[in-house]
Chains A and B, each alone.
Chain A
Amino acid sequence: QQQVKQSPQSLIVQKGGISIINCAYENTAFDYFPWYQQFPGKGPALLIAIRPDVSEKKEGRFTISFNKSAKQFSLHIMDSQPGDSATYFCAAWIQGAQKLVFGQGTRLTINP
């Protein structure tokens, strides 16, 4: 069973727009929330990550927003570019069990 639910499954955004991908979880043992970016034929690569005691983290055009009470977190890509076209995965680290679980993934397409 998927412990992290990700939506939407696919997303099309115009160049220069804002891309938003959402994730939700139930397990309160999660204590680290990374996002991964995957290009076709490649393995996922760490993009940005956040701890649950922080509500927002920004790195360049990429921002994670975290709502601990709602058990939700999201990735925002500002000024989306065609080079951002990829599959994005949210993930959560289970404290104690020492393992990383992933959401279902979102295929993002940025139209030029």
Chain B
Amino acid sequence: NAGVTQTPKFQVLKTGQSMTLQCAQDMNHEYMSWYRQDPGMGLRLIHYSVGAGITDQGEVPNGYNVSRSTTEDFPLRLLSAAPSQTSVYFCASSYGGRRGYTFGSGTRLTVV
């Protein structure tokens, strides 16, 4: 049981490049979310999903896309990277929101 797996752990992008942050969970959790963590800002919700085929926007969705074709995977796509997207990104999953989220170990992204 690997829990929530995020890849890559580190990434450097040039402004304007696109990329996909991968997130997979093997706990059969319906709920999955993407957060970004910035100093002094806490964890801000980017996008979330309550099941396969269902996604919705969080607090800071601009510049990011998601899809949920399977229960296990919830990739986050950066369409055209900007320096403001330099952050640590966390994926999390839960069987039901009130049962608590399990977080991955994060992806540290730097956009230059």
Interface positions of A (Cβ within 8 A of B): 1-2, 6, 9, 31-32, 34, 36, 41-46, 49, 89, 91, 93, 97-105
Chain A residues within an 8 Å CB radius of B42: 2, 6, 89, 102-105
User: Is B64 part of the contact surface with A, judged by Cβ < 8 Å?
Assistant: no
Report the nearest B residue to A43, measured CB to CB: B103
Q: Complex: how many Å from CA A99 to CA B101?
A: 11
A1 vs B44: C-alpha distance when bound (angstroms): 9
Flag if B31 contacts A46 (CB, 8 Å).
no
Q: How many residues of B contact A (CB 8 A)?
A: 26
Chain A positions within 8 Å of B48 at CB level: 98-99
Q: Which residues of B contact A (CB under 8 A)?
A: 4, 31, 33, 35, 40-45, 48, 50, 56, 58-59, 90, 92, 97-98, 100-106
- Nearest B residue to A98 by beta-carbon distance? B50
Could you tell me if A99 and B40 are in contact, using CB atoms closer than 8 angstroms?
Answer: no
**Are A100 and B105 in touch, CB under 8 angstroms?**
no
| A101 and B59 within 8 A (CB) | yes
